[in-house]
Amino acid sequence: MAKAGILFLRVCVQLLALPIYLLSFLGIWDPFCKKIFFPFFIEKLTASYNRKASRHKQELFSNLQEFAGPSGELTLLEIGTGTGANFQFYPFGCKITCTDTNLNFQHGLSKSMSQNQHLQFQRFLVVPGEDLNQVADSSMDAVVCTLVLCSVQSIERVLKEVLRVLRPGGAFYFLEHVAADCSSWCYFWQEVYYPTWKLVFAGCCLTRETWKSLEQAKFSEIKLRHIQMPLYWTPVQSHIIGYAIK
């Protein structure tokens, strides 16, 4: 009965989003989404999300400086920087390399960079998290990835690259929305919204069990917690947060 209900409600949601499906069929939606809709949506979402996640982000990044190299400088790589939602939480003098696959975040990113002049921005790379070949082996003290692993092609390949670019003893920080408990109503609605949500929000997957990939990766230590973000009436309340050490 639950599966039948999910399928029925999926069709209802898809009918409501029929114009977007038609635009996608015609090859119009994807470029429009990447160039206009998604950057606009993310820029507006960032301020609201950071207000709700501020306490968690402050706690998460509170020990970043402990992973600085012998010189005391912290070199950090951020995968999927977007509009720079995390900049305000990074320690003074942090040297940042930004990466993203979408150049259309530049307006919001430039604004965030100008508002966070306590940081040293090194370079911006237009590369996917699965292929960080422009970043040298063992060159980073920390790697950060927030709300990105939901939409990458392969979490395993991203984590393999993370381990490659981190120096021994370096840390990978993450904050990601994930699949809810499979017996919950939240998971039911994640299943309902899944196909349409993925189409509308540039490949974002609602039901990824990202913690399993992190636990199976070859980190020496992992500190991971499941939390509920106060994003009421949305299917993205369930999150994981923490860091893993190479």
Rounded mean pLDDT, 25-35? 94
- pTM score, whole prediction: 0.95
pLDDT class of 2 with cuts at 50, 70, 90: confident
pLDDT above 70 covers a percentage of the chain that reads: 100
Give the pLDDT score at 103: 87
Give the pLDDT score at 71: 85
Give the pLDDT score at 79: 97
DSSP single-letter state for residue 34: I
Burial (CB count within 10 angstroms: exposed 0-12, middle 13-18, buried 19+), residue 21: middle
Give whole-number Cα distances, 52 to 38, 57, 96, 115, 134, in Å: 20, 10, 24, 20, 34
Q: What are the chain's domains?
A: 2-245 (3.40.50.150)
pLDDT class of 201 with cuts at 50, 70, 90: very high
pLDDT class of 40 with cuts at 50, 70, 90: confident
Rounded mean pLDDT, 207-223? 96
Q: What is the pLDDT of residues 79-107, one digit of tens each?
A: 999 999 999 999 999 999 999 999 888 88
Chain mean pLDDT for the chain: 94
